[in-house]
């Protein structure tokens, strides 16, 4: 693969857009007034470009290395193709829940897509203590619709197998296999945390049951090609737009470069984890009303996922042994695995590489308790996941742990 392609910059974007006539109805490349680089820093370059009429476009370019670390960690830019293809495939099942794609540049690994700058990244909104009704339900709907459509149930055996071959994404999957399922349990130079959290990090390393469960979950992640999942569905991969009362106008899942045919419960667990991390922040900051809002989100998302998947179930292509009882069993095992994947995702965001602003922007005295709450909740989830508790009951347990280990800041 040629990794010597030209990178986008504010000085070449205007001429680049002029060379792509398919964007002429989206933005006027001769009257560009603003170019902002907004990549969150982990992997890619992301530019929002605006013309003098206020029309905009997003250009996202994959670099041939991991941006967070630099050229010493090479990474195939083919992940941009995966994101482009997945977004298009997902749009066939849930058009209103993903950004519109205008083109994919195969030579320079650039995706041109809808400008959603009238939305907010959901993590930012949650960090600010905002309430966005309907977002969790839409994320559940997105997971249900795209996973049903790309599973053997919605796509059939032949298309499902061909899809697996097309979407194979080994380098990116290895990031998750290492960072999410392995490194938090084996001290290494990519792990970091506050000195005060050293005993908490040590506790998960010494937690034999947790390490064994990570083995089971990693094996499932690496082998269960159930559907074309998003692969990195955290609250930074969701944009929300709400009215003045916090009611949903639009919700979009984006940034699916970690997509591959994997376990459906992985996406669900990623969302649970990020709601729980947002809950830890709100508890740390003593935001009573926001805590009450966030604790409703896991159930709202799960119920929406289950209802939408059950609604699609009668349309499955082969009903012979894929019975209604099978669906009931799948729901039980997906919920169990989702809590396991949530546990893995929570621990990695505290101990491993690539953390979350929810926790990292807290004052260290307060962060200590929030980080401890996330790690102890992860240990609880991994044990309780087999006990068939409701999502609400699990969330209540998470909240109790986080409240119990909360630490006070200097100014409190």
Which residues of this protein are in contact with ligand SR1, per CB under 6 A?
42-43, 66, 68, 175-176, 179, 232, 354
Q: Given the complex with ligand SR1, which of 56 and 77 has the nearer CB atom?
A: 77
Q: Given the complex with ligand SR1, which of 49 and 179 has the nearer CB atom?
A: 179
CA 241 – CA 115 distance, rounded (Å): 13
Q: Given the complex with ligand SR1, which of 64 and 129 has the nearer CB atom?
A: 64
* Residue 175 binding: pick among ligand SR1, Mg ion, none (C-beta 5-8 Å cut-off by kind): ligand SR1
CA 379 – CA 402 distance, rounded (Å): 12
CA 250 – CA 125 distance, rounded (Å): 14
Q: Given the complex with ligand SR1, which of 155 and 273 has the nearer CB atom?
A: 273
Q: How far is the CB of 115 from ligand SR1 (least distance, A)?
A: 21
233, 143 Cβ separation under 8 angstroms:
yes
Residue 200 contacts Mg ion per CB under 5 A: no
* Residue 179 binding: pick among ligand SR1, Mg ion, none (C-beta 5-8 Å cut-off by kind): ligand SR1
Beta-carbon-side half-sphere exposure of residue 376 (alpha carbons within 13 Å): 20
Q: Given the complex with Mg ion, which of 251 and 395 has the nearer CB atom?
A: 251
The helix (H) or strand (E) run that includes residue 239 is: strand 238-242
CA 309 – CA 305 distance, rounded (Å): 6
Question: Under rule CB under 5 A, how many of the chain's residues touch Mg ion?
Answer: 1
Sign of the CA dihedral running 158, 160, 166, 170: negative
CA 143 – CA 148 distance, rounded (Å): 8
Contacts of 155 (CB under 8 A, 6+ apart): 149, 163, 317
* Residue 207 binding: pick among ligand SR1, Mg ion, none (C-beta 5-8 Å cut-off by kind): none
Contacts of 61 (CB under 8 A, 6+ apart): 7, 8, 44, 45, 46, 77, 80, 108, 109, 110, 111
Binding mask 2-31 for Mg ion (x = CB under 5 A): ------------------------------
CA 259 – CA 338 distance, rounded (Å): 17
Q: Given the complex with Mg ion, which of 255 and 295 has the nearer CB atom?
A: 255
Strands 101-105 and 70-74: unpaired
Q: Given the complex with Mg ion, which of 150 and 356 has the nearer CB atom?
A: 356
Q: How far is the CB of 57 from ligand SR1 (least distance, A)?
A: 23
Minimal CB distance residue for Mg ion: 255
Helix, strand or coil for residue 299?
A: helix
Q: Name the nearest CA neighbour of 278 among 236, 307, 247.
A: 236
* Residue 338 binding: pick among Mg ion, ligand SR1, none (C-beta 5-8 Å cut-off by kind): none
Among 117-125, 172-180, 255-263, 390-398, the segment contacting Mg ion (CB under 5 A): 255-263
Binding mask 296-335 for Mg ion (x = CB under 5 A): ----------------------------------------
Residue 255 contacts Mg ion per CB under 5 A: yes
Q: How far is the CB of 168 from ligand SR1 (least distance, A)?
A: 18
Q: Given the complex with Mg ion, which of 255 and 306 has the nearer CB atom?
A: 255
How many residues are there in the chain?
Answer: 412
CA 50 – CA 31 distance, rounded (Å): 8
Q: How far is the CB of 230 from ligand SR1 (least distance, A)?
A: 11
Q: Given the complex with ligand SR1, which of 159 and 354 has the nearer CB atom?
A: 354
Q: How far is the CB of 191 from ligand SR1 (least distance, A)?
A: 13
Q: How far is the CB of 66 from ligand SR1 (least distance, A)?
A: 5
Residue 267 contacts Mg ion per CB under 5 A: no
Beta bridge pairs of residue 228 = 261
Give me the residues that bind Mg ion (CB under 5 A), please.
Answer: 255
């Amino acid at each position: 693969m040629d990794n010597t392609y030209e990178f986008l910059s504010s000085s070449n974007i205007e001429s680049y857009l002029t060379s792509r006539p398919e964007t002429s109805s989206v933005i006027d490349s001769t009257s560009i007034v603003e170019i902002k680089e907004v990549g969150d820093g982990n992997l890619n370059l992301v530019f929002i470009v605006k013309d003098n009429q206020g029309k905009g476009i997003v250009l996202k370019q994959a670099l041939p290395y991991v941006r967070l670390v630099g050229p010493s960690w090479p990474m195939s830019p083919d992940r941009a193709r995966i994101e482009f293809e997945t977004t298009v495939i997902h749009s066939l099942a849930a058009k209103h829940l993903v950004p519109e794609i205008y083109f994919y540049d195969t030579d320079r690994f650039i995706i041109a897509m809808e400008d959603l700058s009238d939305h907010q990244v959901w993590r930012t909104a949650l960090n600010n203590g905002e309430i966005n009704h309907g977002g969790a339900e839409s994320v559940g709907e997105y997971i249900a619709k795209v996973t049903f459509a790309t599973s053997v149930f919605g796509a059939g055996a032949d298309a499902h197998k061909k899809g697996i071959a097309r979407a194979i994404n080994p380098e990116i999957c290895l990031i998750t296999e290492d960072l999410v399922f392995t490194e938090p349990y084996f001290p290494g130079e990519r792990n970091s945390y506050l000195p005060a959290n050293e005993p908490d990090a040590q506790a998960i390393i010494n937690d034999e049951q947790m390490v064994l469960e990570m083995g089971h979950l990693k094996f499932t992640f690496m082998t269960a090609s159930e559907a074309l999942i998003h692969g990195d569905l955290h609250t930074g991969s969701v944009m929300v737009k709400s009215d003045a009362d916090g009611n949903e106008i639009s919700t979009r899942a984006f940034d699916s470069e970690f997509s591959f045919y994997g376990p459906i419960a992985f996406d669900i667990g990623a969302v649970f984890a990020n709601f729980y991390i947002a809950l830890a922040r709100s508890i740390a900051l003593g935001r009573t009303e926001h805590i009450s809002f966030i604790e409703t989100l896991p159930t709202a998302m799960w119920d929406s996922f289950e209802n939408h998947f059950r609604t699609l179930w009668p349309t499955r292509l082969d009903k012979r042994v894929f019975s209604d009882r099978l669906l009931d069993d799948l729901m039980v095992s997906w919920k169990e695995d989702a809590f396991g994947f949530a546990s893995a995702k929570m621990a990695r965001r505290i101990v491993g590489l690539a953390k979350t602003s929810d926790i990292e922007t807290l004052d260290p005295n307060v962060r200590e308790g929030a980080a401890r709450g996330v790690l102890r909740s992860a240990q609880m989830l991994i044990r309780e996941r087999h006990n068939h508790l409701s999502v609400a009951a699990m969330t209540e347990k998470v909240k109790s742990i986080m409240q119990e280990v909360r630490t006070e800041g200097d100014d409190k």
